[in-house]
Amino acid sequence: MSLNIVEATHKKAKPESEKIPFGRTFTDHMLVMDYEENKGWHEPRIVPYEPLTLDPAAMIFHYGQTVFEGLKAYRTDDGRVLLFRPEKNFERLNLSSDRLSIPPVDEREVLGYLKELVQLEKNWVPSYEGTSLYIRPFIIATEPSLAVAPSKSYKLMIILSPVGPYFSGGVKPVTINVEDKFTRAVKGGTGMAKTAGNYSSGYQAQAKAVEEGNNDVLWLDGVEKRYIEEVGSMNIFFKINGEIVTPALSGSILQGITRTSILELLRKWEIPVSERRISIDELYQAYEDGKLEEAFGTGTAAVISPVGEFNWLGKKMVINDHEIGALSQELYDTITGIQRGRKEDSYGWTVEV
Ligand SMILES: Cc1ncc(COP(=O)(O)O)c(C=O)c1O
């Protein structure tokens, strides 16, 4: 399909420092593409960023038929722009869409359009340390109908937002509350999909955790409230007695692209690693035995977010004296080094725009 480009006549001012609040500034253009039952996905176009007009009965507003993705474009020291494993995001977009009964897109084709969009907005990719251009592809159901059934029409859009460093002044370990009342997802539900309801249903637990002095929530499984799943918008890893453990993909957690990359690095480095069920009791026991050496969350936003403390039913687990661990630091430096073009990408993870 040919991509139509309509250039914005009015260009917005770009942020002039690295202090850019997350997800509040958007670039001059966006990608839009429509789906209709008898036409499939059609009319890909890059147009000036502008509000949408939707019928109040559009199905997205009523039953939440929507999916999204999150990835970043990074500026290298020599001025190039790199994407990190973007094909994995479109693969996961289709996985999420499948779960939400949304028709799949042609992954390669949409990645091609994204590259065109980022190319057009190249000057929006900031270069300050730790900054990047956040990319948000998403699909919404647009059919005006209150029927409880999959929509017959959809809109795919990609918007871009320059973002500041996740950690200002160096990586800082976070404090996490182990949630014992609310549940994020259950096997057979939508936990493995990146869809809106998974996030808004976590707000209450998140607010409670923050009120009690934590930064985020660690979710346990929805049935027994025993097995560790993931953190707010990150997967979780532990270093226990020299071995790296992360919860296996059970159907209720997101298959993070950072998670996959960390696992690949650890295996390459021949560090013992296992993807398995791990209960909160086992974690606490490891802590009491002095074997819980490091813990870190992984995700596009922070890359590696070391955990300095877990709070669980009034008990505290302080990890590595609230300092980032050596392995967490090495993983952080390796991934950010590849993303910024400072370390050799021997894995073929980066895609130049
Ligand atoms: C629920 C959840 N888990 C994990 C992740 C980490 O995934 P990724 O490494 O692909 O950013 C994210 C972020 O996208 C998320 O929203």
Q: Is 218 close to ligand 1, i.e. is its CB under 6 Å away?
A: no
Mutate to test the pocket of ligand 1, among 254, 255, 304 (most ligand atoms within 8 A of CB): 254
DSSP string across 27-53: -SEEEEEEEETTTEEEEEEEEE-----
Question: Residue 4 pLDDT > 80, yes or no?
Answer: yes
* Residue 18 clears pLDDT 90, i.e. is over it: no
- Domain 4-163: give its CATH code: 3.30.470.10
Confidence bin at 17 (pLDDT 50/70/90): confident
Number of Cβ within a 10 Å radius of residue 47 = 15
Q: What is the pLDDT of residue 147?
A: 97
User: Is residue 92 lining ligand 1, measured as CB closer than 6 Å?
Assistant: no
Residue 21: the pLDDT is 85
What does the pLDDT read at residue 214? 95
pLDDT of residue 336: 95
Q: Which ligand 1 atom is at minimum distance from the Cα of 89? A: 10
Q: How far lies 292's CA from each of 176, 226, 227, 265, 295, in Å? A: 15, 18, 17, 21, 8
Read off the DSSP letter of residue 215: S
Q: How far is the CA of 96 from the centre of ligand 1 (A)?
A: 13
Average of per-residue pLDDT across 14-35: 92
Query: DSSP character for 144?
Result: B
Report pLDDT for 58.
98
Residues 260, 262, 265, 269: is their CA dihedral positive or negative? Answer: negative
> Mean pLDDT across the stretch 21-47?
96
- Strand, helix or coil at 124? helix
Whole-number pLDDT of residue 249? 97
Out of 69, 234, 262, 335, mutate this one to test ligand 1's pocket (max ligand atoms within 8 Å of CB): namely 234
The residue to which tokens 């606490």 are assigned: 284
Q: Catalogue the E-assigned strands of 164-251.
A: 174-178, 216-220, 228-231, 235-240, 243-247
Torsion over CA: 189, 58, 206, 204 (sign) = negative
| Mean pLDDT, all residues of the chain | 96
pLDDT (0 to 100) of residue 278: 98
Please give the structure tokens belonging to residue 107.
């992954």
Of 30, 14, 65, which is closest to residue 136 (Cα–Cα)? 30
Q: Which of 233, 246, 258 to mutate to test the pocket of ligand 1 (most atoms within 8 A of CB)?
A: 233
CA distances from 246 to 31, 91, 142, 233 (A): 36, 22, 38, 15
Fold topology of 174-339: D-amino Acid Aminotransferase; Chain A, domain 2 (3.20.10)
pLDDT tens-digit map of 279-336: 999 999 999 999 999 999 999 998 999 999 999 999 999 999 999 999 999 999 999 9
List for the chain the helix, strand, coil content (%; round to 5): 25, 30, 45
DSSP 77: T
**Alpha carbon nearest to ligand 1 atom 12, residue:** 233
Choose the weakest-confidence range: 18-22, 57-61, 249-253. 18-22
pLDDT at 168: 73
Atom number, ligand 1, closest to the C-alpha of residue 232:
1
| Nearest of 133, 131, 122 to residue 164 by alpha carbon | 131
Is 73 a pocket residue for ligand 1 (Cβ < 6 Å)?
Answer: no
328 lines ligand 1 (CB under 6 A): no
User: Quick one: pLDDT band at residue 156, thresholds 50, 70, 90?
Assistant: very high
Counting from 1 in the atom list of ligand 1, the atom nearest the Cα of 198 is: 1
Whether 167 has a pLDDT exceeding 80, the answer reads no
Strand duo 40-48 + 4-5: pairing: parallel
Claim: this prediction has a pTM higher than 0.85: yes
Query: Has residue 270 got a pLDDT over 80?
Result: yes
Per-residue pLDDT at 297: 97
* Protein residue with its CA nearest to atom 7 in ligand 1: 256
pLDDT score, position 166:
82
CA of 241 to the centre of ligand 1 (A): 26
Does residue 170 have a pLDDT over 80?
Answer: no
Q: Is 258 in the pocket of ligand 1 (CB under 6 A)?
A: yes
Mean pLDDT (whole number) for 108-134: 96
pLDDT of residue 344: 94
Q: pLDDT-based confidence at 188, cuts 50/70/90?
A: very high
Give the start-to-end residue ranges of the domains of the chain: 4-163, 174-339
Answer yes or no: is the C-beta of 259 below 6 A from any ligand 1 atom. Answer: yes
Mean pLDDT within 198-224: 96
Least confident range from 16-25, 28-37, 50-59: namely: 16-25
Most confident of 9-13, 15-19, 145-149, 162-166: 145-149
- pLDDT of 173 above 80: yes
The string of pLDDT tens digits covering residues 88-119 is 999 999 999 999 999 999 999 999 999 999 99
The confidence band for 16, taking pLDDT boundaries of 50, 70 and 90, is: confident
Determine the pLDDT at residue 19. Answer: 84
